[in-house]
């Protein structure tokens, strides 16, 4: 079985490539980073170390790589012959891989009706659906009709904390032991062969919302509030009890929405929150607040981890003050090598915070959540 995986970065090597290789796939990574590509081609394997007491290392074998810049032909050919395509490049990069993916799908459908699943493993609601739209926009109607039959884009939720890596071996990845990969079974092609280690569910929404609005909402809250208090890592921020209490408040707000909306057991959900906070604290990881808070404009966007749960709380008459505080803190995330942080800072300086909030969150200036964000911003500033 053959898989093509876009993005040989942290989660790509530390989770998706590892799991697919262990499930028996020959994995071809596709990346723009020439060093990763050359090293993966040359060695055909790389180590993944678990950030736990024993620090067990697994060697991921049966892998190679292609450059999406210099090997576009080979990438399209690999897609034409693959059983599975996955991505972990960042949701805003999906538009850049849609062209070669469309080319590969077109070639494949010219001579084969073998099933192909394309799964975006990004932190976003409906990541694969977004990718499908981008790819379909590049296919003609005849190819689209064929793709409707034998190519599927099931949405997914992936969870494993993989920080930025700093090892002598450039391919080595240190990952937390926990992992979860959930795929929407209702969007798979009939008779699909499950990938070992992937959890297939009939309705993905409760899973993706629970993950994004707990792990990622809590994570970015710790990052933005931690940044304001001068902490460099999530582990340092989470050692501050006052800060952890603020993060917990946020997760209590999202938890109330999730329990009401999806019918999760309140006690179980509370344990889920405890477990997530424990994962953030993992002393064997060093996870920088600048990684976890990266791309604040994406994180402040209407369907992402802050605005969406706040609006859902508002609609249900529930609290959203702690979520508003995290959004306000995002406005103060002044990291000069993060292009979105730079853009956000410039927008706040030029337009004022109220207009910038409306612009990036989609919240009208007279919306109660917008007013709440501004009230928290005035306090934090
Ligand atoms: N790191 C985590 O803990 C984690 C966990 C779950 C989900 N995610 C999600 O996975 C995605 C990747 O995150 P990451 O932390 O691995 O980031 P990363 O920056 O480590 O990896 C992204 C990789 O994509 C590559 N890339 C960029 N443009 C490309 C292109 N046009 N074609 C091919 N490759 C390209 C980059 O060179 C890089 O190697 C994001 O959507 C993130 O939200 C990350
Ligand atoms: O990848 P982002 O920028 O959407 O979010 C940063 C982190 O919260 C994220 O990468 C987590 O580590 C991951 O989602 C854990 O499963």
Q: Which ligand 2 atom is nearest residue 291's CA? A: 6
Cα(122) to centroid of ligand 1, in Å?
A: 8
Quick one: pLDDT at residue 294?
Answer: 98
pLDDT tens, 9-19? 999 999 999 99
Query: pLDDT-derived band of residue 2, with 50, 70 and 90 as boundaries?
Result: very high
Q: What are the backbone dihedrals phi and psi of residue 184, each rounded to the nearest 5 degrees, phi first?
A: -75, 105
Average pLDDT over residues 137-149: 98
Quick count: other Cβ atoms within 10 Å of Cβ 271? Answer: 10
Q: In angstroms, rounded to a whole number, what is the distance separating the alpha carbons of residues 44 and 60?
A: 9
- In 3D space, the residue among 56, 55, 53, 51 whose CA is nearest the CA of residue 285 turns out to be 51
- Interface confidence, given as ipTM, is 0.99
Q: In angstroms, rounded to a whole number, what is the distance separating the alpha carbons of residues 162 and 177?
A: 10
Residue nearest to atom 38 of ligand 1 (CA): 9
Cα(113) to centroid of ligand 2, in Å?
A: 36
Q: Is the dihedral of CA 280, 283, 284, 286 positive or negative?
A: positive
Ligand 1 touching residue 98 (CB < 6 A): no
* Overall CATH class of domain 2-203: alpha beta
Query: pLDDT-derived band of residue 365, with 50, 70 and 90 as boundaries?
Result: very high
| Chain region(s) in the chain for CATH 1.10.1040.10 | 206-380
Pairing relation of β-strands 151-152 and 116-120?
parallel
| Chain region(s) in the chain for CATH 3.40.50.720 | 2-203
Q: Which residue has the tokens 């060695």?
A: 43
Q: In angstroms, rounded to a whole number, what is the distance separating the alpha carbons of residues 158 and 15?
A: 9
Quick one: pLDDT at residue 345?
Answer: 98
Residue nearest to atom 8 of ligand 2 (CA): 216
Q: Please, what is the average pLDDT of the chain?
A: 98
Quick one: pLDDT at residue 158?
Answer: 98
Q: pTM for the whole thing? A: 0.98
The CATH code belonging to domain 206-380 is 1.10.1040.10
pLDDT tens, 278-320? 999 999 999 999 999 999 999 999 999 999 999 999 999 999 9
25, 150 contact by CB (below 8 A): no
Q: Which residues are known binding-site members for NAD(+)?
A: 3-14
Name the residue of 90, 95, 156, 304 whose CB sits within 8 Å of the most ligand 1 atoms, as the mutation to test its pocket: 90
pLDDT tens, 32-68? 999 999 999 999 999 999 999 899 999 999 999 999 9
């Amino acid at each position: 079985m053959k898989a093509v995986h876009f993005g040989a970065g942290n989660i790509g090597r530390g989770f998706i490539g590892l799991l697919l290789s262990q499930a028996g796939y020959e994995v071809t990574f596709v990346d723009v980073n020439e060093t990763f590509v050359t090293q993966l081609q040359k060695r055909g394997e790389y180590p993944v170390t678990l950030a736990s007491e024993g620090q067990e290392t697994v060697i991921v074998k049966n892998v190679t790589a292609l450059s999406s810049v210099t090997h576009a032909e080979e990438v399209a050919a690999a897609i034409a012959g693959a059983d599975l395509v996955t991505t972990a490049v960042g949701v805003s990069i999906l538009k850049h891989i849609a062209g070669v993916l469309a080319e590969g799908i077109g070639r494949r459908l010219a001579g084969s009706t073998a099933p192909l699943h394309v799964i975006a493993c990004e932190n976003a609601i409906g990541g694969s659906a977004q990718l499908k739209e981008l790819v379909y926009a590049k296919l003609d109607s005849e190819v689209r009709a064929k793709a409707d039959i034998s190519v599927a884009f099931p949405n997914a939720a992936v969870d494993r904390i993989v920080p930025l890596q700093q090892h002598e071996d450039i391919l080595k990845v240190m990952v937390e032991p926990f992992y979860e990969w959930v795929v929407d079974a209702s969007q798979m092609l009939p008779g699909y062969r499950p990938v070992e280690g992937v959890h297939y569910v009939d309705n993905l929404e409760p899973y993706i919302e629970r993950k994004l609005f707990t792990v990622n909402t809590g994570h970015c809250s710790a990052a933005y509030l931690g940044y304001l208090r001068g902490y460099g890592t999530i582990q340092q921020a989470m050692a501050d009890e006052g800060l952890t209490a603020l993060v917990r408040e946020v997760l209590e707000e999202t938890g109330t929405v999730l329990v009401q909306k999806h019918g999760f057991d309140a006690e179980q959900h509370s344990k889920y929150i405890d477990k997530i906070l424990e994962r953030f604290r993992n002393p064997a990881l060093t996870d920088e607040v600048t990684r976890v808070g990266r791309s604040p404009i994406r994180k402040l966007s209407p369907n992402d981890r802050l605005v969406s749960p706040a609006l859902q709380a508002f609609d249900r008459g529930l609290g959203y003050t702690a979520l508003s505080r995290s959004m306000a803190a995002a406005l103060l995330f002044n990291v000069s090598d993060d292009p979105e942080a730079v853009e956000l800072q410039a927008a706040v300086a030029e337009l004022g915070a109220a207009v910038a909030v409306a612009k990036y969150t989609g919240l009208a200036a007279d919306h109660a959540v917008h007013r709440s964000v501004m009230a928290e911003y005035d306090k934090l500033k």
